[in-house]
Structure 1
């Protein structure tokens, strides 16, 4: 049997068991109480039916609490008005009242307590010739107050439990939303890092391959240099992708793993099936292997080294530093280097041959990076593929650090990218 069926079966069994116990109490103890009282009508078949109506009505106390309470009040009223003696017939009435007060509306349930007192204790029984004992009438008032207090206490306790469950459910949903948000941010970070790693190298490879094809027959020496540059760029790109995958598999932060470029991958790389087979045979072999040494992350401290590959691709890049250079936080330094690389990649891709200039302006609390490229003239001008994510990724990098980035055409022609990043982090750095 499934869990929902078992959960529904439990309350039904409890209601039937409760109705049976109340029926035994009301019939057995009611008969004894009626025999010990004088001046009352002897129990007959109708009296026993009235004693059983209340327990039967309790079967509806969950689904129809108010009708069940009205039926028990009516059975008790008829029982007393027929002249039968006071007894445990009130047991079903008490249970039905508490159930209706907990499950149903208190505004419909609580007024029935004084109405039931008027109809069952005083003055209606006295008016029809069945006066109640004064002490009984006074005691019933006290018991009704206790009964209402018990019902309200249970109701409030139930409300507290429901509110607690709702808070726990809300906390669980919030935690799931936070996990989904973190996972989404990690996916975006991985996509941005893959773009930054591959776009620059592939753009340079594209330019150098075009040069090699044009000079292959006329100037084989220069074509050979272009092929060497292609080999170097592809090898470096493979090393950086290898570093990114290593960071993801080892669980280290994405930005740290990606921005710390890996050491070059050996010429012989094991095939996918071989590496997976080795991992399967060794169990935790991959996890136990020490991480390979990595080369330094890209940095704007050495612009010549950062721009070396771009210049080798034939793009003339001028540099200018304004202000006193000072040490930047690693995340800011890496982000600035990535922005410069991506901007120059766009120049190579969309404006090949156009000269570019990189200006770094150091201030007390910020660093500003400006990348300009001149207007493209002649046959070198071309429109590269549109719809890329380069500018979006650069803007995300800047905003993540509390900076800003503006990119757009220059009035005099060409294109300009300006990024302003904080030179100090207010909180401990996170990868």
Structure 2
């Protein structure tokens, strides 16, 4: 099995996070690794520029520096040609170009575009995350130049050469620092691009997950209530089919109405997925349809008393309140032996309070529920900044208490 390696920090030696997966805009192999191109055209242009620039530099420095010969041209070709590997072997290229330039200057050849090959090689190494290697390469070049220019010049060509001023060394060092600093700036900027892109992708995935959860919750609430009513009425119809056909007919009528309503609401939810942008659909249900829930519960044999009036709520809070009451009544139908429930509404201090009570006892019956009802209610309330408390009462019944803010969260910002 291939050894698993822990990625190194990009602080000094390791590649930055984006390098394994490619910098912004880079192409990739199908396997996920970044695809390193062979930069033929840019390398060729740089090589031509270095040769032509070095030729003019040799003419302007004639008499002060050694003339270009085959060895000098070979060193220029090696330094420029190494840049072809700068995306695949950035460390090797950084040290190779620095070494070629050091030998070139040590041999007394003219100053000029030879520094460009080192700049490009070290720039590529820094951008690839190999900062230590880039700094060491330019440091080696500068140290080699100081050694040759101020000590070994007596024994190296051209003859009669003199030591340059230290001001010239400071200028060279300044250019080196500027090049590496520019490379560092590009590296930091690319890492920032990669982080921003990753954050945008995570945000998009999070929004998709939240939307899937919302749709699943909506479908659950719609189907659970209707199917519970259908389940109860189907049992009534089967029990009375022979002894009381008229009552069985009433049960079947209730099943038809409940299934039609469920199909309509499911179609409304699915329309939001099929249509691009804002899907045209009917208004979302709210507490103004509380009477419909009471009628549906009555069809399932549950008497519901409603106390208090519904205040004006934002659409999101209105829908959440409706679904919470719907799910609570569905749970009474499924799991309670009581055939009586109470819904009480009150609002104060910017919050709506909903109490849904039944007298129990719990029967343990399950009308095909998924067990996600209370979870869905809590998620709806939490999404609005509210709370849900659900549990048995001291007298043996069961209570659901929902507290929902009457202002949308975005209005508070």
TM-score range, shorter chain: 0.7 to 0.9
Q: Is 1:410 matched with 2:397? A: no
Q: CA deviation at 1:109?
A: 2.2
Q: Name the larger-Rg structure.
A: 1
Query: Could you say which residue in structure 2 is the equivalent of 1:228?
Result: 253
Say if 1:149 and 1:403 are closer, same or farther in 2 by CA, change over 3 A: same
Pick aligned residue for 1:315 from 287, 290, 302? 302
Q: Is 1:54 matched with 2:101? A: no
- 1:347-384 CA-partner distances (Å, limit 9, x unpaired): 1122255422222232232121111222238xx76345
Q: Is 1:349 matched with 2:334? A: yes
Is this contact kept in 2: 1:398–1:404, CA < 8 A? yes
How many residues are aligned here?
365
Query: Could you say which residue in structure 2 is the equivalent of 1:148?
Result: 173
Secondary structure, counterpart of 1:343 in structure 2: helix
CA–CA separation in structure 1 for the residues paired with 2:201 and 2:242? 61
CA–CA separation in structure 1 for the residues paired with 2:407 and 2:49? 76
Query: Could you say which residue in structure 2 is the equivalent of 1:124?
Result: 152
CA–CA separation in structure 1 for the residues paired with 2:277 and 2:139? 63
Secondary structure, counterpart of 2:401 in structure 1: strand
Q: CA deviation at 1:216?
A: 1.2
Q: Is 1:174 matched with 2:202? A: no
Q: Is 1:70 matched with 2:99? A: yes
Q: CA deviation at 1:210?
A: 0.7
Q: CA deviation at 1:100?
A: 5.5
Is this contact kept in 2: 1:65–1:100, CA < 8 A? yes
Is this contact kept in 2: 1:27–1:51, CA < 8 A? no
Secondary structure, counterpart of 1:94 in structure 2: helix
Is this contact kept in 2: 1:110–1:148, CA < 8 A? no
Query: Could you say which residue in structure 2 is the equivalent of 1:250?
Result: 275
CA–CA separation in structure 2 for the residues paired with 1:424 and 1:100? 60
- 1:314-359 CA-partner distances (Å, limit 9, x unpaired): 11223333xx763333332222121111111111122255422222
Is this contact kept in 2: 1:204–1:230, CA < 8 A? yes
Query: Could you say which residue in structure 2 is the equivalent of 1:109?
Result: 138
Is this contact kept in 1: 2:138–2:176, CA < 8 A? no
Q: Is 1:191 matched with 2:216? A: yes
Query: Could you say which residue in structure 2 is the equivalent of 1:11?
Result: 39
Pick aligned residue for 1:374 from 345, 349, 359? 359
Q: CA deviation at 1:233?
A: 1.4
What TM-score does the superposition give when structure 2 sets the normalisation length? 0.74
Secondary structure, counterpart of 1:371 in structure 2: strand
Is this contact kept in 2: 1:205–1:233, CA < 8 A? yes
CA–CA separation in structure 2 for the residues paired with 1:253 and 1:368? 31
Say if 1:303 and 1:386 are closer, same or farther in 2 by CA, change over 3 A: closer
Query: Could you say which residue in structure 2 is the equivalent of 1:83?
Result: none
CA–CA separation in structure 2 for the residues paired with 1:10 and 1:302? 68
Once the two structures are overlaid, the 10-residue window that deviates more, 155-164 or 392-401, is 155-164
Once the two structures are overlaid, the 10-residue window that deviates more, 186-195 or 407-416, is 407-416
Secondary structure, counterpart of 2:371 in structure 1: coil
What TM-score does the superposition give when structure 1 sets the normalisation length? 0.71
Computed over aligned residues only, the root mean square deviation of the Cα atoms, in angstroms, reads 3.7
CA–CA separation in structure 2 for the residues paired with 1:304 and 1:132? 104
Query: Could you say which residue in structure 1 is the equivalent of 2:380?
Result: 397
Is this contact kept in 2: 1:315–1:355, CA < 8 A? yes
Query: Could you say which residue in structure 2 is the equivalent of 1:157?
Result: 182
Pick aligned residue for 1:363 from 348, 371, 376? 348
Query: Could you say which residue in structure 2 is the equivalent of 1:292?
Result: none
CA–CA separation in structure 2 for the residues paired with 1:13 and 1:327? 69
CA–CA separation in structure 1 for the residues paired with 2:277 and 2:118? 62
- 1:238-279 CA-partner distances (Å, limit 9, x unpaired): 22223333344334668x95762xxxxxxxxxxxxxxxxxxx
Once the two structures are overlaid, the 10-residue window that deviates more, 356-365 or 104-113, is 104-113
Is this contact kept in 2: 1:335–1:398, CA < 8 A? yes
Is this contact kept in 2: 1:27–1:52, CA < 8 A? no
Is this contact kept in 2: 1:355–1:374, CA < 8 A? yes
CA–CA separation in structure 1 for the residues paired with 2:317 and 2:409? 12
- Structure of higher RCO (CA pairs closer than 8 Å, 6+ residues apart): 2
Once the two structures are overlaid, the 10-residue window that deviates more, 16-25 or 65-74, is 16-25
- Unaligned stretches of 5+ residues in structure 1: 81-86, 261-296
